[in-house]
A and B are shown apart, each in its own frame.
Chain A
Amino acid sequence: MHRFANPTRFLRLANALLPWLGVAAVGLLGYGLWLGLLNSPADYQQGETVRIMYVHVPAAWVALAGYSTLALASAAFLVWKHPLADLAARAASPVGAGFTAIALVTGALWGQPMWGTWWVWDARLTSVLVLFFLYLGHMALTNAFDDPERGGKAGAVLALVGVVNLPIIKFSVDWWNTLHQPASVLRMGGSTIDPAMLTPLFVMAGGYFAVFAVALLLRIRALYAERRLRQLRLSLPDA
């Protein structure tokens, strides 16, 4: 990992990976949407509405993975003080917030026909909303200081504090009675979902993760360029 704390080496790797990830994102999302929307069975209870699962569930997975990325980058920044880890954390939070918003909105669109309501204040929905607020708080805090270094460190501590929310989200459906269905993919005793539905779900998840990686790398690259620009401008003699 320390090898890639060197920005030049990291950017060379990122630039090499980006086209492949971009192709993977477009290809997997296209194939997954075709599978999910056209070439998979309707649910015996939910009917065609089950297809919302293929856009909702991967978004929720990436929302959680995005926060894990943010927390890992923050820990790396606090421990080793790699500036690149700070950039990765700053890059991760708006992307993660975006996927959390997608999960919340598609969940509401699914809840309306299935539960008869757009929103319920149960444990799963509330804890994901808290995740969204944590992303917003992290974005606000990192940008609230005149010294970007100080903002990055404060944001890193906040990101680590917010990790307590992750297990709450994961286990909220088991600990409390809720309208949201319990874990059905990653559970003891195997998945309860039929392979005909599991395949499009995993293809879509692959596409979502590829989009997340592309957005993350593009943002890190942009933030790095921005910081370089700032340094160059500060090093110029007053014009």
Chain B
Amino acid sequence: MSGFLALIGRDLRLARRQGADVAMTLAFFVVVVALFPLGLGPTPALLARIAPGVLWVTALLAAMLSFDRLFQQDADDGGLDLLALSGLPLAVVALAKAVAHWLTTGLPTVLLAPLLAVTLDLPAAAYPALMAGLLLGTPTVSLLGTVGAALVVGARRAGVLVALIVLPLTIPVLIFGVAAVEAGSAGLETRPHLLLLAALLAGAVPLAPLAAGAALRQAVE
């Protein structure tokens, strides 16, 4: 447990000291969302209609940008070998990495989303569903991304490859996340969609670290 927390603490410290990495991911999120009103014309009704999809898809793409570095830096400087020798199971290492990734990119995305939703004229009734959906969905994305990041350690063009591998797996999260926001803006029940997102997270928490741990084992062998 102490090793698990120490690893999260180390990653958070690294993220704070190299703040530009996190800032770039968030800047990408903001810039891409800002492109849609300019590309589609600023009609409020249209923007309110597309806001859930734009916010969710952009949040996914922003997360993809940060995955290729998740293990690659550690693999390059030998840190990954030390982690493998530390006695901490590699699945726990992967879980700690996923938690740190979510705290440094997922959580800021969730906090930025309502600000961007204002610029897209999202109806006020949809905000609770947007926030709750992102809070439940982005950890799943971080966990799935950890699997992808562990698989592409040492690969050529790892950045594109991790997106190609992980994005299809995130489709269920996207579907239910957007459905929750749309139900919210239409004044319908959002609970079923949020429960499905929670179920995906409950499945990903035990399974994704196991897969990522197996992938890391192949990477350090």
User: What is the interface of chain A, defined by CB distance below 8 A to chain B?
Assistant: 78, 126, 130, 133-134, 136-137, 140-141, 144-146, 150-151, 153-154, 157-158, 160-162
Contacts A130-B171, A154-B151, A154-B218 hold; do A160 and B164 have CB atoms under 8 A apart? no
Check if A158 sits within 8 Å of B164, measured CB to CB.
no
Q: How far, in whole Å, are A154 and B211 apart by their CA atoms in the complex?
A: 10
- Can you name 13 A-B pairs with beta carbons within 8 Å? A130-B169, A133-B164, A137-B164, A137-B165, A137-B168, A141-B161, A144-B156, A145-B156, A150-B218, A150-B219, A153-B221, A157-B218, A161-B169
Name the 6 nearest CB pairs between A and B, nearest first. Answer: A133-B168, A153-B218, A144-B155, A137-B165, A154-B151, A157-B215
Q: Contacting A78 at CB < 8 Å: which of B157, B165, B214?
A: B214
Q: Please, how many angstroms separate the alpha-carbon atoms of A158 and B211 in the complex?
A: 8
Q: What A residues does B147 contact at CB under 8 A?
A: 157, 161
9 new A-B pairs (CB below 8 Å) besides A133-B164, A153-B221, A157-B218? A130-B168, A133-B167, A137-B165, A141-B155, A144-B156, A145-B156, A154-B218, A158-B151, A161-B169
- Which residues of chain B (139-196) have a CB below 8 Å from chain A? 147, 151-152, 154-158, 161, 164-165, 167-169, 171
A161 nearest CB neighbor, chain B only: B211
| Cα separation A126 to B172 with both chains bound (whole Å) | 10
When distances are taken between beta carbons in the complex, the residues of chain A under 8 Å from B171 are: 126, 130
Given contacts A133-B168, A150-B154, A161-B169, contact A140 B161 (CB under 8 A): yes
Residue of B nearest to A127 (CB): B171
Chain B contact residue count (CB 8 A cutoff): 21
Q: In the complex, A30 Cα to B176 Cα: how many Å?
A: 45
State which of A136, A154, A162 has its C-beta within 8 Å of the C-beta of B152.
Answer: A154
- Identity of the chain B residue whose Cβ is nearest the Cβ of A147 in the assembled complex: B154
Q: How far is the CA of A141 from the CA of B169 in the complex (A)?
A: 15
Docked CA distance A130–B147 (Å): 17
B170 CB to closest chain A CB, in angstroms? 10
Task: Evaluate contact between B152 and A141: CB separation under 8 angstroms.
Answer: yes
Partner of B157, one of A130, A137, A144, A157: A144
CB distance from A77 to the nearest CB of B (A): 11
Query: Are B161 and A144 within 8 A (Cβ)?
Result: yes
